Amino acid sequence: MNQSSPPGPTLARWLTGARIGRLPVRSAEHPPPALSFEFMPPKTDAMEVQLWHCIDRLAPLAPRFVSVTYGAGGTTQARTHATVSRIVTDTRLTPAAHLTCVGAPRGEIDEIAHRYWEAGVRHIVALRGDVPGGGAYVPHPDGYAYASDLVAGLARLHPFEISVAAYPDIHPTASNPLADLDNLKRKLDAGATRAITNYFFESDTYLRFLDLCLAAGITAPIVPGILPVTNFAQAKRFSELSGVVLPAWLAHMFEGIDEDPELRRMIAAIVAAEQVRLLQANGIDEFHIYTLNRPELTCALAHILGVRPQQAA
Ligand SMILES: Cc1cc2nc3c(=O)[nH]c(=O)nc-3n(C[C@H](O)[C@H](O)[C@H](O)COP(=O)(O)OP(=O)(O)OC[C@H]3O[C@@H](n4cnc5c(N)ncnc54)[C@H](O)[C@@H]3O)c2cc1C
């Protein structure tokens, strides 16, 4: 995918390349974007079945990688490891294991990373994580204090591909937007090659964030994280915790349809489709989709973006 993209640092190309005026029809000039998908490790047997149904359904879309989240404080350590390992052994997908450093000594984190390397995992999404149950963050006395320290530690251990988190709406505990941008740059300078953003709803905010990144000397792709929202009440709760701005127009879209899941799914698809199309028209050609282990909306978005199932080789 994307082999005909012009060379050069992604971010500069995204911001200065030709805008696409109409819906691009797939062509050598407009190859389909590169996608990645995020999954959560399952908690029960039924959720495991749901996850693997989702993976089987999305695999033919040939994502660049699929990532599996990690409960901060290691709460999903075994389940994340089992899911990532099964992706290595049972599929042709490239997995990325999320790893957080909150609440753990360096030795423990290094050991987990080393086991991933041994299992054939070459990509880590390196995160600080949050204190389980809430509360102010205090670094572990023998731990990696921030994600930038974790990136440096991982890079010393093995030549992992490393992705990190970015926040178009600014991380909720950042002292100010510039400090948060400096932190992102530190993570990339420490060895990460891509940032994946937290979800956002105002595409203008994301595009302005790219401008700020480029001005700060960042050239790595800042891949938009897309969350198709079907459950507005839940999205509102998450957004308050993670500092994501919830626009009034989105609340208006979901007004009065709590009891109508079918309509909510249709609205979710329309809102997310409009978002990815607007970003695609602005030159963005990589997307990370938060699947919540459900394939339908992700399939719809991929299809709209021009991605079609690939034949197994
Ligand atoms: C794509 C993506 C995937 C995620 N996956 C997971 C997951 O699997 N599991 C999970 O538990 N959470 C996950 N999260 C959430 C993430 O763990 C939280 O947002 C967490 O609060 C911050 O993690 P970080 O890696 O961005 O931290 P950092 O980059 O370390 O930043 C955290 C905060 O500290 C500030 N900061 C950084 N360095 C310093 C310093 N030296 N001095 C003072 N302040 C500093 C930053 O500005 C920021 O406000 C994910 C988030 C995203 C966007």
**Cβ of 16 below 6 Å from ligand 1:** no
Q: Which of 146, 194, 222 to mutate to test the pocket of ligand 1 (most atoms within 8 A of CB)?
A: 146
- Check whether 135 has a pLDDT greater than 90: no
- Cα separation, 43 vs 311, in Å, equals 32
User: Cα of 126 to ligand 1 centre, how many Å?
Assistant: 9
**Residue whose entry in the numeric block shows the structure tokens 């790595």:** 220
Query: pLDDT-based confidence at 28, cuts 50/70/90?
Result: confident
pLDDT at 24: 67
**Cβ of 129 below 6 Å from ligand 1:** yes
- Cα separation, 267 vs 229, in Å, equals 8
Per the residue annotation, which of 29, 38, 111, 286 is the catalytic one?
A: 38
- Cα separation, 197 vs 225, in Å, equals 5
Residue 38 among the catalytic residues: yes
162-194 per-position pLDDT tens digit: 999 999 999 999 999 999 999 999 999 999 999
**Residue whose entry in the numeric block shows the structure tokens 């404080």:** 73
Question: Cβ(58)–Cβ(308) under 8 Å?
Answer: no
User: Cα of 162 to ligand 1 centre, how many Å?
Assistant: 14
Average pLDDT over residues 135-159: 97
Question: Cβ(244)–Cβ(200) under 8 Å?
Answer: yes
Query: pLDDT-based confidence at 313, cuts 50/70/90?
Result: very low
List of domains in the chain:
10-304 (3.20.20.220)
Return mean pLDDT, the chain: 93
- Check whether 197 has a pLDDT greater than 90: yes
229-261 per-position pLDDT tens digit: 999 999 999 999 999 999 999 999 999 999 999
Query: pLDDT-based confidence at 25, cuts 50/70/90?
Result: confident
**Cβ of 183 below 6 Å from ligand 1:** yes
Query: pLDDT-based confidence at 4, cuts 50/70/90?
Result: very low
Q: Which of 127, 182, 241, 290 to mutate to test the pocket of ligand 1 (most atoms within 8 A of CB)?
A: 127
Angle made by CA atoms 80, 84, 89, in degrees to the nearest 5 = 145
pLDDT at 312: 61
pLDDT at 74: 74
pLDDT at 2: 44
**Cβ of 279 below 6 Å from ligand 1:** no
- Check whether 66 has a pLDDT greater than 60: yes
pTM of the model: 0.94
Query: pLDDT-based confidence at 18, cuts 50/70/90?
Result: confident
Question: Cβ(164)–Cβ(184) under 8 Å?
Answer: yes
pLDDT at 89: 97
Burial class (CB in 10 A: 0-12, 13-18, 19+), 66: buried
- Check whether 263 has a pLDDT greater than 70: yes
pLDDT at 17: 83
**Cβ of 67 below 6 Å from ligand 1:** no
pLDDT at 261: 96
**Cβ of 180 below 6 Å from ligand 1:** yes
Query: pLDDT-based confidence at 267, cuts 50/70/90?
Result: very high
Average pLDDT over residues 144-150: 98
46/9: higher pLDDT: 46
User: Cα of 64 to ligand 1 centre, how many Å?
Assistant: 23
- Where are any strands of DSSP class E within 155-264? 161-166, 194-199, 222-226
Average pLDDT over residues 123-127: 98
Query: pLDDT-based confidence at 3, cuts 50/70/90?
Result: very low
**Cβ of 100 below 6 Å from ligand 1:** yes
